[in-house]
């Protein structure tokens, strides 16, 4: 496995980004992996490595770079207060611009295959995946949003308004019990997907709670997590390879 920490130039500064890919020259299809709210940590690196082992060039940006270097080695009310505040101060527009910079970086990388790319995001990044899929519809062919927070809001920049522009395939996976996803979110999102004929799968995983994809969490549900992983990798294989 080839791994590297790189700085990607954005309009708001240098964004530290973890990259990994199989050994060899490639080129490899690219996956952009958006972190969840607790931020960059070894668990996310391991998840990126697993995707890379299947033959992909994976990049995992530190979306909190605007606030300095934030790392949370343990979960507590104190650390949660910090990352929740950082999350509240990241807009969909911020991540769209970050993604523009990442796509420019990938376009110029000799180990990255030209053509369609994939995105995956968890928790706070579920809305970001939705927004970027609609903003870059000709480049992002396979997109997965896992228990996304804030996909449907009453604000003008709500991510679900981007559904009308999405051309790629979407996967939305939600937990059965999730206090961060109000009851109106799934039906509103489903109606928007149906209205615009977006190619998608939207499913609620029985017996799960928010965070079910992360093995370090008490909420981890191995069966649901593995199902999600397999579904996403199948999407990537069909659209990127």
- Give the 3-state secondary structure of 3-64: EEEEEEEECCEEEEEEEEECCCCCCECEEEEECCCCCCCHHHHHHHHHHHHCCCEEEEECCC
- The neighbour count for residue 114, using CB atoms within 10 Å, is 10
Which tens digit of pLDDT belongs to each residue from 33-50? 999 988 899 999 999 999
pLDDT of 73 above 90: no
166 band by pLDDT with thresholds 50, 70 and 90: very high
Looking at residues 189-196, what average pLDDT do you find? 96
Are the C-beta atoms of residues 50 and 228 closer than 8 Å to each other? no
Report helix, strand or coil for 202.
strand
pLDDT value for 241? 83
The enclosing H or E element of 209 equals strand 200-209
Relative to beta strand 200-209, strand 140-146 is unpaired
CA distance 145 to 171: 6
Computed over every residue of the chain, the mean pLDDT equals 94
Q: What is the mean pLDDT of residues 196-214?
A: 95
Contact 20, 2 (CB under 8 A): yes
CA 46 vs. chain centroid, Å, equals: 15
Tokens linked to 213: 């994809």
pLDDT band at 75 (very low <50, low <70, confident <90, very high): confident
> Mind listing the domains of the chain with CATH numbers?
2-240 (3.40.50.1820)
pLDDT-derived band of residue 80, with 50, 70 and 90 as boundaries? confident
Residue 78, pLDDT > 90, answer no
Which residues lie closer than 8 Å to 180 by C-beta, 6 or more apart? 123, 147, 149, 210
Q: What pLDDT sits at residue 212?
A: 94
The whole-number average pLDDT for the span 72-100 is 86
pLDDT by residue (tens digit) across 4-22?
999 999 999 999 999 999 9
* pLDDT band at residue 175 using 50, 70 and 90 as cut-offs: very high
* pLDDT band at residue 198 using 50, 70 and 90 as cut-offs: very high
Over residues 206-234, the mean pLDDT reads 94
Q: What is the pLDDT of residues 120-158, one digit of tens each?
A: 999 999 999 999 999 999 999 999 999 999 999 988 889
Which one is predicted more confidently, 214 or 87?
214
Separation between Cα atoms, residue 232 and residue 14, nearest integer Å: 29
């Amino acid at each position: 496995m080839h791994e590297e920490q790189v700085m990607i130039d954005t309009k708001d500064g240098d964004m530290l980004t973890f990259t990994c890919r199989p050994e060899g020259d490639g080129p490899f299809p690219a996956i952009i992996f958006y972190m969840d709210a607790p931020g960059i940590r070894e668990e996310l690196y391991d998840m990126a490595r697993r995707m890379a082992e299947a033959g992909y060039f994976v990049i995992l940006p530190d979306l909190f770079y605007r606030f300095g270097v934030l790392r949370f080695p343990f979960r507590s009310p104190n650390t949660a207060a910090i990352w929740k505040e950082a999350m509240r101060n990241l807009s969909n527009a911020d991540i769209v611009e970050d993604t523009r910079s990442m796509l420019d970086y990938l376009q110029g990388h000799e180990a990255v295959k030209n053509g369609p790319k994939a995105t995956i995001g968890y928790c706070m990044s579920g809305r970001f995946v939705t927004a970027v899929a609609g903003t870059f519809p000709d480049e992002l062919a396979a997109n997965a949003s896992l228990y996304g927070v804030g996909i449907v809001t009453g604000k003008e920049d709500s991510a679900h308004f981007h559904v009308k522009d999405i051309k790629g395939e979407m996967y939305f996976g939600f937990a059965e019990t999730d206090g961060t996803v109000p009851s109106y979110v799934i039906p509103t999102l489903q109606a928007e997907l149906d209205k615009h004929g977006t190619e998608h799968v939207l499913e609620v995983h029985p017996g799960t709670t928010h965070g079910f994809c992360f093995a370090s969490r008490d909420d981890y549900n191995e069966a649901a997590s593995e199902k999600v992983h397999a579904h996403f990798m199948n999407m990537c294989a069909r659209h990127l390879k």
